[in-house]
Structure 1
Amino acid sequence: MTHLAPGAPALTPLSRFCLIAGPALIAGYGIIRLLSDSGTPGPGWTAGHLALFCGLALFGPVFLGLRRLAPAGSPVRRRVAAVSSVVALAGLAASLAQAAIDLVVGFRAADGPEMSDLFEQVQSHAAVHLVVYSAGPLLFYAGLVALVAALVSRRGPVTGWTLAAILLGIVVMGVSLDLMPVGGMLFLQALAFVGRTDRARVADAQPVRGAGQYG
């Protein structure tokens, strides 16, 4: 008969990969942005925004994976995690739309002034500006913070350090886009720790073979 130790595995291999790759690509976008001419179409703009789009897309499995970590014995936490993940996914959709628009504008514009004109045309629509450029992307961060906060416990895998690093990363990126590499690395430190801790839980939960009913 087999026995599983407490703390059965919750994160899928895809979620663990995305916990690292998503923030790393966002940090990569920030680095490319610093090394290229910001606001000018070209290889730097395209490469940076492709990294941003892919990095954001990988947060879909991150949100779903974190939601699965909600403790089964706490209905309130599970409800908060469920609602927060929906909010975060809505913000993710808005953020992806913004990155996609940036890519399209970069492909269509011949130079910086034309790029500015195209952005003005897009953002002149009130609904687009609200959903894609102002309120929408904020849901990404609000949902992420609420989701992580609902999972914090002293025994992990989501700890107070995870929440603190996420909050600091959001503040840093909000101060200046030039600090995107720092914010992305803070996200990486916070979320990669969740992945490492979850792998430890998987190891602890491996079946003990040959044990009887009473061990």
Structure 2
Amino acid sequence: MTATTAHRSQDSPAATFTRIAFHLAPVLMLTYGLVRLIDGRDGHHGPGTAWTVGHLLFLGALLMYGPVIVGLRRRVPRGGMPRRLTANIATGVALVGLATFIRVAIIDIVVGLQAADPAEKSRLSDRYSDVPAVLPQVVYEIGPMFFMLGLIVLLVQLAVVGPRSIGNILSPVLVVLGFITIFINLDLLSAGAALIWLALIHHARTPARAETRRRTPQPNTA
């Protein structure tokens, strides 16, 4: 049995779920990209079964990114106030952005279920653009960017202050490339998700700080 296998056998249920989320979030995102390609074969994206299924997959991916963000925060080594403050702010920004992203996915699902054709889908999207009306619309529009920014900052911080490894160094680069790929063309969403998956695989294999402490053998003082 390898050290990694031994460590995983001692994982708590929460740690195991987090490790799964590191894989499941980008995989669901990748699958959504494939369904989106199928949905767009007629020149339109939604409404219909493919639209609904795709956005349910996307919603699942976003929900899995919550444990990913928290898991990355727990992998940041202990340090002084600047390090903790940077990690906490990045985590908060990412989670706030994720919440606005989840809102987008839910609205898209609701619109897809209500609309009978692409024109009605467009009208309903405009109607729900500021729902819930508790924040300025601009916050909802730029909110998803906060998710990406916070995630990248956490990965950069791990690359700078974490253990020196190729995985830590390449992770932020791969995630940035993944997001750029998606921004270039949404039809490349699956390719971008695959790059993000490659970035997160490394962190799925590394234990969180608390797990490492639990696994450190105590000296025998007897």
1:143 to 150, 166, 170: 150
**Aligned partners of 1:22 and 1:55 also within 8 Å:** yes
Instruction: Could you tell me which runs of 5 or more consecutive residues in structure 2 were left unpaired when the two chains were aligned.
Output: 1-10
Runs of 4 or more consecutive aligned structure 1 residues displaced over 3 Å after TM superposition:
124-129, 205-209, 211-214
1:33 matched to which residue of 2?
36
Q: Tell me the percent identity.
A: 33
Give the alignment partner of residue 198 of structure 1, picking from 202, 207, 212.
207
The structure where helix makes up a greater share of residues is: 2
Q: CA deviation at 1:70?
A: 1.4
User: Which protein, 1 or 2, shows the higher relative CO under an 8 Å CA cutoff with sep ≥ 6?
Assistant: 1
The residue that corresponds to 2:96 in the other structure is 90
Superposition TM-score, scaled by structure 1 size: 0.83
Where does residue 175 of structure 1 map in the other structure? 184
Deviation for aligned residue 1:69: 1.0
Cα contact 1:39–1:115 (8 A) shared by 2: no
Aligned to 2:6: none
Structure 1 residues 137 and 64: CA distance shift in structure 2, 3 A = same
Q: CA RMSD in A?
A: 2.9
Q: Deviations over 1:69-95 (max 9, x none)?
A: 111134322221111000000000000
CA change 1:81–1:175 in 2 (3 A) is: same
**Is the CA contact (8 Å cut-off) linking 1:27 and 1:181 kept in structure 2?**
yes
**What do residues 31-62 of structure 1 show as CA deviations (whole Å, max 9, x unaligned)?**
10001134221110011000000100111111
Using the TM superposition, give the Cα deviation of residue 207 of structure 1 relative to its aligned residue in structure 2, in angstroms. 5.9
**Equivalent residue for 1:130?**
138
Counterparts of 1:141 and 1:80, CA distance in 2:
15
In 1: Cα distance, 2:136 partner to 2:184 partner: 24
Q: Where does the alignment leave 5 or more consecutive residues of structure 1 unmatched?
A: 1-8
